[in-house]
Structure 1
Amino acid sequence: MRQNERGFTLIEILIALFLISIVTAAIYKTFRAQQ
């Protein structure tokens, strides 16, 4: 199952970027709503 021990696969990087963008957008919306 683990072919590449070091580094991430392209799919893992895309999923990570997707999750980070969602979290960042949620924090940004909450931050703007408070001001």
Structure 2
Amino acid sequence: MAQPWKVLDSVATGEGILELRQRGERDFLITSNSL
């Protein structure tokens, strides 16, 4: 079963929102404008 992403941090920039997400111990993702 897939684990949900947990938002660890986010920052607003001039081009949109950057988010650092984690699911599991070693699985990370950086998103731009929640894409």
**TMscore range, shorter length:** under 0.3
Q: TM-score of the superposition, structure 1-length normalised?
A: 0.16
Higher helix share: 1
Choose between structure 1 and 2 for higher RCO, CA contacts under 8 A separated by at least 6 residues: 2
Structure showing greater radius of gyration is 1
